[in-house]
Chains A and B, each alone.
Chain A
């Protein structure tokens, strides 16, 4: 018995010794496994750590998308982004919906309390209460200390200049997509993440833009007009320093603007702009060689073509020299000149200066010109003085700039050109013709229909346009589109200023006249007076000799009727 006990004890002792060894082995294996887990924990937490947990929270993620700024030619911010907060609620966590709704409406008075209450009582876990709160409103909502309300950060497009250049800039929807203007045209460029830090630099100068918009607004008020539009163009590059259309809108609330205010009269609207077109007719006649400064036209009788009668607004009823046709704005003379050139050459010339296709402007609001389907002689005659063809002010300005700048056509642009982007334009008339056009346009202001456009020292030249608005079956004699295109300084043209006034009414001061010379021309004068110093154009004494030759032609025809 004792013996077996001892033997068992011996066997048990060896077994226990083996068990002890195996215990240690198992302990070491456990240790290894736990060590592996420790290493993995450190690996994740230390070497693969990320600053922020993305896509972890289910409901609210901050929209990172940003949009590039838009600046004017001098770097003044026209459009930028502000971080704002939008308020939302988790209705399940709202303790007292009535109380919360009442308190919120006090801070956000434009919310309807009943509607808000319904939202806060709903069983959903996420309802928008108001997008884009002001910092003051956000502070006030936070100060309420109500559970269940939270903010989501968003970006808001802000136009610090307000209405200024609204039609150029356009606006965006609440999610930051461009809906109009350059915001729409350059939408992909502005929202391109790689170019977010590079602002889009426009050709516009806010100071010029302000002077233009301000003076047009004053003209509209003075002449009780329906609307107005205008632009300032650098005739050497085609850059638009200002482009305005009134009535306008605030792009900060662009979505709610009425259709009439959203309409861009300077680029989208096409008009029969009237006598201003005579500049093209004269240049065309000189360029094709069918006329020179001494050419004379019989304007003693109105022209009758089938059922149409072409008569002059300022009838001289005599033979007129070429400069007189322009200065006295003779429709009869211009029509005869155009017939001499011929329909085909007229069409080719107008096409070359961009009158027959939409302007390639960098905004989406660009109007298509209206041109006759069949270019008959009557069309040739009416188009010679700006009727029977409708173009946008931007198209007209582009063509006129080429008439005065030495004969080079530069497409109108809203983007600032750098020195290296300065290309020579497309030559459309000779240097010589352009030289004559400059003198003639200066004469219009010195001695012709647009004396009120003169600004001492800046040698303004230009051409008025007074067109009757088309009405059912013909033209409405009392509904005018009065315009003036002025260029200064005429001895070395730099800038073109165009103003259009829609249905102005004459005043006592204008002896009830409402034509371009009485309404648009003085407005252009005031604009030039304001912008010339800004643009660094110095006033100079006029060299009278420069205009002698053209002026003599006028005297001549008077002396020899």
Chain B
């Protein structure tokens, strides 16, 4: 800490003293845990696919470095730069998603990827944080100026994005994006009655998906009645936790990773459960909870509605994704391909998360002149009204 003086005016020094260092530490912890788990979990997968044993592990190391650099770089940006960057990224992602739909390669019956300089990127991963910031900007605009139709525009953008995602088809990301959009509307002051309506709409949407999207139907059926179909992945994941016990079978001793096709991505939490035990899993869940809850509570100190909505949306996105992944691993939710933030293997996911957390860090940087006992400026201003 003494390396950088508070009087130092350089960019790095100013960043260090203003950034949310605890959030930074928590994210770096997750990255470290993810690297350890990926090294173990991905080797049998690589072997199965006939790739060099450390194929995934090496790539993950590269992704991790890129993600970390991206996060720190973005966290240096000002609020204005974050807003402008997100709008540009959002536009780019929309274009890329249309391109993906038209020309993208077809993996497992879905067109989600686009080739960029040798890497296959999933534009949807970047669309989510960009959308959260853009819609926050629109909602905040509406809060500041009643005549500005921010809500309507944001809703329109949501419908557009959701439509593109459903066309891929990627129901999970659609639900995730819808949840973030709903949370932002709630934060922006949606009346309680409307919140109820939104809840109903969400349930109806999920039900409609269940009725009309075959693979969603299938997965829900299996979740509700395990005997109705092949629950091999879920059962294996549960066995992994039970085999691991409290302290795990030991690093590298897991058997699940040898039989689960997605051991290094969707089911990495189960691998952690088997090899490192329930206590380590509990710590991972705890770190996710701390990042999300602490982040949200700290937003109550913010004055700028844009910051509250954007950071709130990004943190919710992060939290929901972690929740869904862990929930599926623990058989609390129906099977859904969703990566565990910062821990699962995956380039797009890693970079998008680096970007998201970078934006959160940038948005929540403290004005160094506003430290000390906080003035309830809003109340003061309220008296003037």
Contacts and interface: CB of A to CB of B under 8 A. Distances in A.
Interface in A330-368: none
Tell which of A17, A40, A41 has the most Cβ of chain B within 10 Å: A41
13 contacts: A6-B385, A10-B381, A22-B187, A37-B332, A40-B330, A41-B281, A45-B241, A50-B242, A50-B243, A53-B239, A53-B274, A57-B258, A57-B259
B385 A7 contact: yes
A38 B240 CA distance: 16
Nearest to A44: B241
B68 interface: no
Contacts of B303: 16
Contacts of B242: 44-45, 48-50, 53
A19 B296 CA distance: 11
Given A37-B330, A45-B277, 12 more contacts: A12-B378, A16-B308, A19-B188, A22-B187, A26-B316, A30-B289, A41-B273, A45-B241, A49-B246, A53-B249, A56-B240, A56-B255
A12 B379 CA distance: 11
Interface string B350-382: 000000000000000000000000000011011
A42 interface: yes
Interface residues of B, number: 59
A10 B143 CA distance: 11
Given A9-B385, A38-B282, A57-B255, A23 B312 contact: yes
Nearest to B327: A37
Contacts of A7: 385
Contacts of A38: 282, 285-286, 289
A163 B279 CA distance: 58
B288 interface: yes
Contact of B245 (A9, A10, A26, A45): A45
Contact of A58 (B244, B259, B288, B326): B259
Contacts of B143: 12, 15
B330 to A, nearest CB: 5
A529 B363 CA distance: 106
Contacts of A24: 296-297, 300
Contact of A33 (B144, B246, B323): B323
A531 to B, nearest CB: 57
Nearest to B270: A44
Given A38-B286, A56-B259, A46 B323 contact: no
Contacts of B255: 53, 56-57
- Ranked nearest first, the 3 interchain pairs of A and B with the lowest CB-CB distance are A45-B278, A10-B385, A34-B289
Contacts of B309: 19
Interface in A388-423: none
Nearest to B287: A34
Nearest to A50: B242
A23 B300 contact: yes
B385 A56 contact: no
Nearest to A52: B243
B330 A44 contact: yes
Given A9-B385, A41-B278, A30 B259 contact: no
Given A41-B241, A45-B273, A57-B255, A31 B289 contact: yes
A22 B186 CA distance: 7
A7 to B, nearest CB: 6
A27 B292 contact: yes
B308 A30 contact: no
A37 B288 CA distance: 11
Contacts of A17: 378
Contacts of B282: 38, 41-42
B367 to A, nearest CB: 17
Nearest to B50: A92
A420 to B, nearest CB: 48
Contacts of A50: 239, 242-243
Interface string B180-203: 000100111100000000000000
**For the complex, would chain A's binding face be called helix, strand, loop or mixed by DSSP majority?**
helix
Using C-beta atoms within 8 Å of the partner chain, give the interface range for chain A: 35 or more
Contacts of B239: 50, 53, 56
B41 to A, nearest CB: 15
Nearest to B245: A49
Contacts of A33: 323
**For the complex, would chain B's binding face be called helix, strand, loop or mixed by DSSP majority?**
helix
Given A6-B385, A41-B285, A26 B296 contact: yes
Tell which of A9, A26, A45 has the most Cβ of chain B within 10 Å: A45
A427 to B, nearest CB: 65
Interface of B: 143-146, 183, 186-189, 236, 238-246, 249, 255-256, 258-259, 273-274, 277-279, 281-282, 285-286, 288-289, 292-293, 296-297, 299-300, 303, 305, 308-309, 312, 316, 319, 323, 326-327, 330, 332, 378-379, 381-382, 384-385
Nearest to B295: A27
B225 to A, nearest CB: 20
Given A22-B186, A52-B243, A45 B312 contact: no
A8 B273 contact: no
B328 to A, nearest CB: 11
Contact of A13 (B274, B297, B300, B381): B381
A11 B147 CA distance: 13
Contact of A42 (B256, B278, B305): B278
Given A23-B296, A45-B241, A49-B245, A13 B382 contact: yes
Nearest to B316: A26
B304 to A, nearest CB: 9
Nearest to A36: B332
A20 interface: yes
Given A31-B289, A56-B236, A58-B259, A37 B305 contact: no
A475 to B, nearest CB: 72
A559 interface: no
A23 B187 contact: yes
A18 interface: yes
A367 B279 CA distance: 68
Nearest to A8: B144
A304 to B, nearest CB: 86
Contacts of B259: 56-58
Nearest to B274: A53
Nearest to B305: A16
Interface string A31-71: 10111111011101110111011001110000000000000
Contacts of A37: 285, 323, 326-327, 330, 332
Nearest to A33: B323
A33 B256 CA distance: 26
A464 to B, nearest CB: 70
Contacts of B281: 41, 45
B290 to A, nearest CB: 9
Given A56-B259, A58-B259, A23 B243 contact: no
A36 B326 CA distance: 11
B245 A12 contact: no
Contact of B273 (A15, A31, A44): A44
B285 A34 contact: yes
A189 to B, nearest CB: 35
B381 A9 contact: yes
Contacts of A10: 381-382, 385
A27 B278 contact: no
B53 to A, nearest CB: 11
B305 A19 contact: yes
Nearest to A34: B289
A16 B378 contact: yes
A7 B259 CA distance: 63
A373 B240 CA distance: 71
B326 to A, nearest CB: 5
A87 B67 CA distance: 46
